[in-house]
């Protein structure tokens, strides 16, 4: 999944803002909670997806099957789209968990893990010229490491989300600036291809990340 990137970070730490420089005509945003995009001109740049999926570049849904359908549609029928953004992907997991809260036993965890796995498999199957940026919130595990926030150890037992990506970035706010951490620092779970990024901290700009990874792969 060299052309797929996992972006981790707390709320307000710059995950969604990092979309600001992506070329909107080449970008499809799947927003799991339908929140407004936090940068100037977002409403004019991102229009709702049409009923046939052939026009528009924004869709709000936390339904796993719908998300997979849109990813597959973009992959096969929207060649002009060069990047998919799955914003706040973690809410697909937590919202599903809350809807299944009345269910007994472990089956609900297995269902959620399967839905998560299927989405990541769809991401893993996208064409070579299509990138996918997946945004998630973080939690601190028993060893003090910031990693993907899910709904407990049962989900993590079935699937390691970070392991599905060759590039994992973590948002950092420092001295009033917003950055991406590119490699593991002992606390934040990050990884990037060897030699792709010269600095531990880079600007929180997904267009910069994409350009760097494309140059690296040539």
CATH number at residue 106: 3.40.50
13 Cβ neighbours under 8 A, 6+ residues apart = 171, 172, 173, 178
**What does the pLDDT look like over 159-217, one tens digit per residue?**
788 888 989 999 998 888 899 999 988 888 899 988 889 899 999 999 999 999 999 88
Q: Is the dihedral of CA 73, 55, 89, 134 positive or negative?
A: positive
In the prediction, which pLDDT does 156 show?
Answer: 72
The total of structural domains in the chain comes to: 1
Residue-number span of the structural domain to which 97 is assigned: 4-217
96: phi then psi, degrees, rounded to nearest 5: -65, -40
Measured between alpha carbons, how far is 131 from 124 in angstroms, rounded to an integer? 10
Q: What is the pTM of this model?
A: 0.89
Q: Evaluate whether 2 touches 123 at the Cβ level (below 8 Å).
A: no
In the prediction, which pLDDT does 152 show?
Answer: 64
The residue ranges of the chain whose pLDDT is under 70 are 1-2, 152-155
């Amino acid at each position: 999944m060299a052309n797929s990137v996992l972006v981790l970070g707390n709320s307000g730490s710059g995950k969604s803002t990092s979309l600001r420089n992506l070329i909107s005509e080449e970008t499809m945003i799947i927003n799991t909670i339908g929140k407004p995009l936090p940068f100037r001109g977002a409403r004019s740049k991102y229009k709702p997806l049409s009923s046939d999926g052939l026009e528009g570049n924004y869709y709000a849904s936390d339904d796993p099957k719908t998300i997979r359908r849109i990813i597959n549609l973009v992959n096969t029928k929207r060649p002009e789209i060069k990047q998919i953004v799955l914003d706040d992907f973690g809410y697909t997991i937590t919202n599903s968990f809350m809807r299944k809260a009345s269910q007994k036993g472990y089956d609900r965890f297995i269902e959620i893990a399967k839905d998560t796995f299927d989405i990541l498999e769809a991401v893993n199957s996208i064409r070579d010229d299509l990138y996918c940026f997946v945004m998630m919130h973080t939690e601190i595990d028993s060893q003090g490491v910031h990693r993907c926030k899910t709904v407990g150890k049962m989900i993590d037992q079935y699937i390691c989300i970070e392991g599905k990506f060759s590039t994992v970035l973590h948002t950092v706010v420092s001295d009033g600036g917003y950055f991406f951490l590119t490699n593991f620092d002992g606390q934040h779970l990050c990884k990037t291809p060897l030699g792709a990024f010269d600095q531990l901290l880079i600007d929180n700009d997904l267009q910069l990340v994409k350009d760097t990874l494309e140059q690296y792969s040539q």
